[in-house]
Amino acid sequence: MAFQGKKLINNPNDVVTEFIEGLVETYQGLQYLDGFPEVKVVLRADVSGATYDKVAVISGGGSGHEPAQAGYVGEGLLTASICGDVFASPTVDSILAGIRAVTGPMGCLLVVTNYTGDRLNFGLAAEQARSEGYKIETVIVGDDCALPKSQGIAGRRGLAGTILVNKVAGAVAAAGLSLADVASEAKRASEVVGTMGVALSVCTLPGQVTSDRLGSGKMELGLGIHGEPGAAVADLQPVDVVVTHVLKQILESNYVPITRGNRVVVMINGLGATPVMELMIAAGKTVPKLQLEFGLLVERVYTGSFMTSLDMKGFSISIMKVDQTLLQHLDASTKAPHWPVGSAGNRPPAKTPVPLPSSRSMKSDELLSRPLQLTEQGHILEVAIEAAVNAIINMRDILNDWDSTIGDGDCGSAMYKGATAILDDMKKYYPLNNAAETVNEIGSSVRRAMGGTSGVLYTIFCKAAYAQLKANSDSTVTAKQWAEALEAAVAAVSKYGGASTGYRTLLDALIPALAVLKEVIQNSSLSLLFFINDV
């Protein structure tokens, strides 16, 4: 069943021109030719064909693939982008207008994707421009690896690999090289890049209905960026399996001369409606497979949505074989707003050990284990901890019942987990003769065992109390110091939890308890003082 697609647009016929207007408002280095609606050309604002002293690099094609190609206009990449209507090749007049606007004495390179309409219209425009005296070269990019080579090359469409070719051409042109050199390097790049796409849905054109060609639980392998049917439809598989299939298709298709030991760059490209999370998952599976299974040295990884298909769900993978020269072209600076920046230089290991707190790394083994012999303070602390956690364990059902009247009814269960973890860990790890470190370990037990907000709050409570107790250099902790630790803990819970007295949180129990403790300590001190004075 088809249904009307939802789009945030005005008139479906105006989407391309309105996109261009928004683009140039966003990026001050861009302009467009004032020829709407027939002429839709985005160009560098700092370039005039009459005075431009470098090779102009122009690409383009049907719209709907944003940010390609208009988002790659800028110093060091494209000089202009020719925009057709959605999924339609730009007109010859638009292409000619773009050539005339930015081409100077050094000439112009046209980077054309391998679609019949693009080849014909750009080709005719190139011939017309030559007849007008412009120096023009053309490079055709067909990086699609979805179809077996035995079926011929006519179906090799220009996909996301075109962006890498554009970047190479733009870097060479920005360096001031000749048109022949720019064309030669762009052609060389186009011959060593392969791409294949996978989609979970088809796209919806503005003002049209959404097709359900794929149906539920299906994916399409090797489809085109205009919604063309792919090489095959299959059951939806985990991304690990999908990535393996795509890499094998690219590297074993004999379309690209990539063999074990080669250096490559990789582009993981979203097709328009693929979340960044899913693209990163695909990237995380792609790189290790290329390195370990195919023996390739991955030099750069570009992940994001670079050449889309409106709102299509899916991604494509492009792999380009590189040498040091091509790598330098890809790394060369550019002001194009949507060029993906990959980290240059040697790739560090993907993971590094989790650092331990310096205080923990300096603790002795004895401090991190239960003492063989408890001091009087250690014994008192153990008895107090046992009494507290057993009280919580025994109240699990009551606490759950209370919580069910105002919440989700799991308070008792969560505290039960924390209490049992404390009881188990105390028998093995707690340095009971050291009160501060014991409180710290209680916080670690709670953090590990308890989930939700309460677990975090109790951990904060313990960590703040630990910091206060640790400031005491004496081995014995006095009642006054315990009260100070409780006060610090209550203040931390209030600070990070954002609550105070009357908010109906655990602070409504802790704050009165602190007040009573301080009052008891004060009265005990006064009684002792009166006793000493009487004597």
Tell me the DSSP string of 466-534: HHHHHT--SSSPPHHHHHHHHHHHHHHHHHHH---TTSSSTHHHHHHHHHHHHHHHHHHHHHHHHHHHH
* Residue 147 pLDDT: 76
Supply the angle between the helices 452-470 and 479-497 in degrees, to the nearest 10: 140
In this prediction, residue 202 carries a pLDDT of: 87
Higher-confidence residue of 508 and 326: namely 326
- Compute the distance between CA of residue 232 and CA of residue 109 in angstroms, rounded to an integer: 35
Please say if the pLDDT value at position 532 is more than 70: no
The mean pLDDT value for 71-84 works out to 98
Q: Is 405 buried (19+), middle (13-18) or exposed (0-12) by CB count in 10 A? A: exposed
Residue 207: pLDDT band with limits 50, 70, 90: confident
Mean pLDDT of 91-117: 96
Supply the pLDDT for residue 527.
Answer: 58
Lowest average pLDDT, out of 145-149, 448-452, 510-514, goes to: 145-149
What pLDDT, on the 0 to 100 scale, is given for residue 45? 96
Task: Please say if the pLDDT value at position 153 is more than 60.
Answer: no
379 is catalytic: no
Mean pLDDT of 105-114: 97
Among 210-224, 258-272, 418-432, 500-514, which is the least confidently predicted range?
Answer: 210-224
Q: Of 105, 101, 50, 106, give the one whose Cα is nearest residue 79.
A: 101
Mean pLDDT of the region 133-147: 94
Cα first-last separation, the chain:
97
Predicted pLDDT at 349 = 73
Which residues contribute to the annotated binding site for substrate?
62-65, 118
Phi, psi for residue 226 in degrees, rounded to 5 = -110, 15
The predicted-structure confidence for 331-340, as pLDDT tens digits, reads as follows 999 999 999 8
Q: Supply the DSSP string of 309-326, one letter for each residue.
A: -TTB-EEEEEEEEE-HHH
Confidence of residue 436 (pLDDT cuts 50, 70, 90): very high
Residue 428 clears pLDDT 50, i.e. is over it: yes
How high is the pLDDT of residue 345?
60
Least confident of 79-88, 111-120, 238-247, 523-532: 523-532
Q: What span, in angstroms and rounded, lies between the C-alpha atoms of 455 and 449?
A: 8
Question: What share of the chain has pLDDT > 90, as a percent?
Answer: 68
Q: Would you state the pLDDT for residue 361?
A: 42
pLDDT band at 1 (very low <50, low <70, confident <90, very high): very low
Q: Which long-range contacts link 458-464 to residues 24+ away (Cβ below 8 Å)?
A: 458/418, 460/489, 460/492, 460/493, 460/496, 460/497, 461/489, 461/490, 461/492, 461/493, 462/489, 463/492, 464/488, 464/489, 464/491, 464/492, 464/493
User: What is the rounded average pLDDT of the residues 17-25?
Assistant: 96
pLDDT at site 346:
65
302 membership: H or E segment, kind and range: strand 297-304
Interatomic CA distance for residues 268 and 306, integer angstroms: 9
| pLDDT exceeds cutoff 60 at 230 | yes
- Residue carrying structure tokens 């762009």: 186
pLDDT of residue 192: 98
Lowest pLDDT segment from 28-42, 209-223, 511-525: 209-223
Residues 475-496 have pLDDT tens digits of 688 889 999 999 999 999 999 8
Domains of the chain: 14-203+216-331 (3.40.50.10440), 376-523 (1.25.40.340)
Which of the residues 226, 245, 329, 379 is marked catalytic?
226
pTM: 0.78
Please tell me the predicted confidence (pLDDT) of residue 368.
Answer: 62
Residues making up the annotated binding site are 62-65, 118
DSSP result, 323-390: -HHHHHHHHS----TTPPPPPPSSPPPS--PPPPPHHHHTS-TTTTS--SS--HHHHHHHHHHHHHHH
Segment 360-381, tens digit of pLDDT = 444 444 446 788 899 999 999 9
